[in-house]
Amino acid sequence: MAEPQFTRVPFWRDVRVLTILTQVIFVVVVALVAAFLYANVSTAMRQRGLVNDFSFLSLEAGFEIGEALIPYTATDTYGQALWAGFSNTLLVSVVGIILSTIIGVVVGVARLSSNWIVSRLAAIYIELIRNTPLLVQLFFIYFGVFLTLPSVGQTLEFPGFIYANQRGVFLPRPVPTSTSETWAWFVVVAIILALALGYLSTRPQARRLGWVAALVLILLPAFGWLIAGEPLAFEIPVRERFNFKGGMNLSPEFSALLAGLVLYTAGFIAEVVRAGILAVRRGQIEAAYSLGLNGGQVLRMIIFPQALRVIVPPLTSQYLNLAKNSSLAIAIGFPDLFSIATTSANQTGQPVPVYLLVMATYLAMSLFTSLLMNIYNRSVQVLEK
Amino acid sequence: MKNLVLVSVLVLVALIVVACTSAPAPSAPQVVKETVIVQATAAPAVATKPAAPPAATAAPAPVALGARFAAVKARGKVVCGSNDQVPGFGFLDKATGQFTGFDVDYCKALAVAVFGDAKAIEFRPVNAAQRGPALQTGEIDVLARNTTWTVTRDATWGLFAGVNFYDGQGMMVDAKKNPTVKTLKDLKDASVCVQTGTTTELNLSDRFREEAVAFKPVVFDTADATFAAYEGGRCDAVTTDISGLVARRSLLKSPADHKILEVVMSKEPLGPAVPLGDAQWYNVAKWTLFALINAEELGVTSKNVDEMLQSKNPDVQRLLGVTGDLHKGLGLEKDWVVKVIKAVGNYGEIYDRHLGPSTPLKLDRGINKLWNKGGILYAPPFR
């Protein structure tokens, strides 16, 4: 018997070597192209007197911002101004995500309702919202809805010191007092207890604990309120010459942006939810009904847990879309990050570092959101069908 | 396996091709630098620009042209960054599709100076936030868009070719709703609509801070949105240059209801600007403006320019190119001022056409009168 000939494969035909070599060469070439592009941009910017550092962040901004979550005045720096804008973007994005999810789920389920009117209405809403541009919707909501509210002279009054006019909605603002801290401890303890009881109530034979958890959540803070005296004072809005002063103000810009973003994204989320629900096998639903469960129970216990696997990834995209679409705020006067960045880029005369910073911020925000959503996604995925 | 090798080789080749074809880009800026300093070799500058049919001007310029000037001539038209939302200064008439206005006429004058044709222009409407980058990147050849001349803008945006309108910032309120508002102090805690990316925004907060009066700004990115919000009642007051307030007031539903306060919040010298890097193009832009002002000073109008060619006044003769060769240093034709005045008129005619007593704006010339007539409009001599 002859020994099988063991010839070595020459390295230029050896698959292992070639794959690695190709990757190395590819990376080198990409790096060269990137370096060349960077050098090109640097030269061009230097030619035009554009500076490529971030020193402007410590210069005085000089412009006022209409509303921000963090305190800001015109004598603060550009860095502070950008933080104020970022706080506004975060506020709109977070509140927008929560509201649009609620509305989107409701509309998505309604779209599949056996009630003909309900499903038609949902369909009309979805098709209308998805097929018109967001900017147009924002302009309509801002100029056509919020600015047509009665003027300050004819403010609408609501019980509880709530006022509504075209300059916004004015609510009493809670102000912490000396006893707020004691009350805060009661609230924290109540939340922890309620969560613990809620977790325990998922065990069999312990469903009553869920009600106990709810009671704890309501009664303990109320008890704490009585003990602490007056933990919160309320600052009520007062009508002055031009506007209302004091209290919380929901400006029409914020409300219009929020409403526009929520309605727009809810339309898309509704379709995502509908896709998820339709992806659950019909056998599951038939079996559930044959077991005697009613519609609500089937939806809650059988359909949704399985639909979530299909819903969560596209839902993440919609959340990211909402966060990025919030940059349209500049068109209706809401001072979000992009609006402040445009002003800063103009006033400093250095658009490149400013817009790089803005892109990095949106990227960080989006990556963080998708990180959280992916963690949640992993928890709803099953390892096997 | 073979496919893998083939694909990777193709990718490599594609990348190398991309890298090599974009290589000429960095050399062009270096040529720009050379031409500006030396002002001698024009051939390399002209050669690296993309080839386009040369403009149908009679004789080639006797002086070497800067890179931007050469590019403009090769293109055959001037790209003019303008406004399309301020009547009287830069406005797009939706019915006819034509741009009209005080600044628009300056662009036309520039086009006539370079090409002899007032139609050799491409208008690019830019809003307040876009005009800076448009000028910085050289996307437009000239910015004639009621832009204030400041030191930051000279350093970062481009060079300002003089002042064609001395203005100031003002405040407009609805006199029917707020008849007692007279000064900035009366606007305590008021909402003020303002456009973003403007000196207006900064002056607004400076002035209110001086008076130690609080206010609420509502900031939009276009003039249309700003004034729509003001008209809708979102703000108690709106602020921009006084000329802009007068112009936009004419577009409101009931202009008589709105009052411009007797407050001048800042100096706003408005003028055209050209991108950095080409001193020659800068000279052409500057001296087009100065030609218009000198023409009014010397009494040359679009109607009498032909008779003025026979004038014995040496200043007029130099201005119109009858004597001397001042046009050579600029790289323009001998009779460029004659063509400009014939096409658009002198400064006074342009002003009256768009902002004068026969227009809805009726802007008094105020300090925009000539220096020897009580104003501060002053142009260097043609000598």
A346 Cβ under 8 Å from any chain B Cβ: yes
Instruction: Please report the ipTM that was assigned to this predicted complex.
Output: 0.76
Cα distance from N-terminal residue to C-terminal residue, chain B = 77
User: Quick one: CA dihedral B134, B135, B137, B142, positive or negative?
Assistant: positive
In the prediction, which pLDDT does B40 show? 41
Q: How far is CA B266 from the centre of its chain?
A: 20
Average pLDDT for residues B60-88, to the nearest whole number?
85
Give pLDDT tens digits for A328-349.
Answer: 999 998 999 999 999 998 888 8
Convert B40-60 to b/e letters by CB count within 10 Å (16 or more is b): eebeebbebbeeeeebeeeee
pLDDT at A89 over 80: yes
Are the beta carbons of B131 and A348 closer than 8 angstroms?
no
Name the helix (H) or strand (E) containing A235: strand A232-235
CA A339/CA B196 separation, integer angstroms: 8
CA A248/CA B1 separation, integer angstroms: 67
pLDDT range class, residue A383, cuts 50, 70, 90 = low
Q: Report CA dihedral (A93, A97, A98, A104) to the nearest 10 degrees.
A: 150
- Max Cα–Cα distance, chain A, nearest Å: 109
Q: Which residue type is seen at A32?
A: L
Percent of chain A residues topping a pLDDT of 90: 47
Taking the CB of residue B379, how many other CB atoms lie within 10 A of it? 21
In the prediction, which pLDDT does A111 show? 95
* Chain B residues with CB-CB distance to A19 below 8 A: 4
CB contact under 8 A, A50 and B197: no
Closest to B159 (Cα-Cα) out of B277, B290, B31, B332: B277
Name every residue whose Cβ is closer than 8 Å to that of residue A365 and which is 6 or more positions away in sequence. A89, A90, A93, A323
Name every residue whose Cβ is closer than 8 Å to that of residue A202 and which is 6 or more positions away in sequence. none
Give pLDDT tens digits for A124-144.
Answer: 999 999 999 999 999 999 999
Q: Report CA dihedral (B88, B93, B96, B100) to the nearest 10 degrees.
A: 30
Q: Where does chain B show beta strands of DSSP type E?
A: 78-82, 85-86, 90-93, 98-100, 121-125, 142-148, 158-160, 165-174, 191-195, 216-220, 237-241, 258-260, 267-275
Q: Which long-range CB contacts under 8 A does A20-28 form with residues at least 24 apart?
A: A22/B4, A22/B5, A22/B8, A25/B8, A25/B12, A26/B8, A26/B11, A26/B12
- According to DSSP, the β-strands at B78-82 and B142-148 are parallel
Taking the CA of residue B160 and the nearest CA in chain A, the distance in Å comes to 15
B197 Cβ under 8 Å from any chain A Cβ: yes
Helices and strands (H and E) in chain B: how many? 16, 13
Q: CA–CA distance from A124 to each of A127, A131, A261, A266 (Å)?
A: 5, 11, 18, 13
Tokens of A64: 């006022």
* Chain B residues with CB-CB distance to A147 below 8 A: 229, 232-234
CB pairs A-B closer than 8 Å: 158
Among chain B residues, the shortest Cα distance to A14 is held by B1
Name every residue whose Cβ is closer than 8 Å to that of residue B178 and which is 6 or more positions away in sequence. A242, B236
Convert B266-281 to b/e letters by CB count within 10 Å (16 or more is b): bebbbbbbbbbbbbbb
* Chain A residues with CB-CB distance to B196 below 8 A: 330, 339, 342-343, 346
Closest to B280 (Cα-Cα) out of B270, B271, B288, B268: B288
Are the beta carbons of B197 and B129 closer than 8 angstroms?
yes
Average pLDDT for residues B215-233, to the nearest whole number?
90
CA A122/CA A106 separation, integer angstroms: 9
Closest to A275 (Cα-Cα) out of A236, A315, A240, A302: A315
In the prediction, which pLDDT does A319 show? 96
Among chain B residues, the shortest Cα distance to A334 is held by B219
CA A72/CA A84 separation, integer angstroms: 7
pLDDT at B236 over 80: yes
Average pLDDT for residues B329-348, to the nearest whole number?
93
Give pLDDT tens digits for B40-52.
Answer: 444 444 444 443 4
CB contact under 8 A, B217 and A252: no
Mutate to test the interface with A, among B181, B187, B201, B213 (most CBs of A within 10 A): B201
CA B106/CA B78 separation, integer angstroms: 12
Mean pLDDT value across chain B: 85
* DSSP one-letter code for A144: I
Give pLDDT tens digits for A142-167.
Answer: 999 888 888 888 888 888 888 888 88
Tokens of B212: 């130690």
CB contact under 8 A, B1 and A18: yes
Give pLDDT tens digits for A255-305.
Answer: 999 999 999 999 999 999 999 999 999 999 999 999 999 888 898 888 988
pLDDT range class, residue B4, cuts 50, 70, 90 = confident
pLDDT at B38 over 80: no
Are the beta carbons of A18 and B5 closer than 8 angstroms?
yes
* Chain A residues with CB-CB distance to B276 below 8 A: 48-49
CA B124/CA B141 separation, integer angstroms: 10
Q: CA–CA distance from B368 to each of A153, A355, B67, B203, B262 (Å)?
A: 41, 39, 34, 22, 18
Taking the CB of residue A360, how many other CB atoms lie within 10 A of it? 10
How many CA within 13 A on the CB side of residue A183? 18
pLDDT range class, residue B13, cuts 50, 70, 90 = low
CA B148/CA B195 separation, integer angstroms: 14
Q: CA–CA distance from B3 to each of A18, A19, B220 (Å)?
A: 12, 12, 55
How many CA within 13 A on the CB side of residue B138? 17
Closest by Cβ to A349, choosing from B25, B137, B153:
B153
Query: A80-89, A104-113, B73-82, B177-186: which has the minimum mean pLDDT?
Result: B177-186
Q: Give, in degrees to the nearest 5, the angle at Cα B238 between B235 and B242.
A: 170
- Please give the residue that has the higher pLDDT: either B171 or A49: B171
In the prediction, which pLDDT does B77 show? 94
Q: Report CA dihedral (B366, B368, B374, B376) to the nearest 10 degrees.
A: 130
| Contact map slice: A 228-267 vs B, CB within 8 A | 240-243, 245, 252-253
| Contact map slice: A 269-298 vs B, CB within 8 A | none
pLDDT at B28 over 80: no
Q: Give, in degrees to the nearest 5, the angle at Cα B333 between B329 and B334.
A: 85
SS3 state at A231: coil
Are the beta carbons of A64 and A74 closer than 8 angstroms?
yes
A147 Cβ under 8 Å from any chain B Cβ: yes
Taking the CA of residue B187 and the nearest CA in chain A, the distance in Å comes to 8
* Chain B residues with CB-CB distance to A153 below 8 A: 177
CB contact under 8 A, B276 and A49: yes
Closest by Cβ to B189, choosing from A50, A153, A245:
A245
Taking the CB of residue B96, how many other CB atoms lie within 10 A of it? 8
pLDDT range class, residue A355, cuts 50, 70, 90 = very high
Closest to B191 (Cα-Cα) out of B199, A160, B177: B177
In the prediction, which pLDDT does B14 show? 66
- Please give the residue that has the higher pLDDT: either B58 or B298: B298
CB contact under 8 A, B209 and A75: yes
Taking the CA of residue A339 and the nearest CA in chain B, the distance in Å comes to 8
Q: Which residue type is seen at B74?
A: A
